[in-house]
């Protein structure tokens, strides 16, 4: 398969930005390339910042609740 670089770039940017535009290149891609386009669409759907945050967030197992006294009456 051989395609112009600009067409491939357009498809990639369109997949990540989830615009839905295409230059009709996707049906001619190999199955592995189509899976890559699907993954790019998924990354674009999640959003880069959400994806980075979910992968880098530290999991805290220890929870501390504030303590205080209440006056009744």
pLDDT digits (tens, 9 = 90+) for 7-59: 999 999 999 998 888 888 888 889 999 999 999 998 888 887 887 887 776 76
- What is the residue extent of each domain of the chain? 5-53
Helix (H, G, I), strand (E, B) or coil at 58: coil
**Cα separation, 29 vs 27, whole angstroms:** 6
This model's pTM is above 0.85: no
pLDDT at 64: 84
Q: At what angle do helices 48-56 and 31-46 cross, to 10 degrees?
A: 80
Alpha helices in the chain (DSSP H): 5-17, 31-46, 48-56
């Amino acid at each position: 398969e051989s395609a112009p670089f600009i067409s491939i770039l357009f498809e990639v940017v369109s997949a990540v930005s989830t615009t839905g535009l295409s230059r009709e290149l996707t049906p001619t891609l190999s199955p592995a390339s189509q899976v890559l386009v699907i993954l790019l669409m998924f990354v674009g759907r999640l959003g880069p910042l959400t994806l980075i945050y979910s992968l880098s967030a530290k999991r805290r197992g220890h929870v501390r609740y504030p303590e205080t006294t209440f006056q009744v009456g």
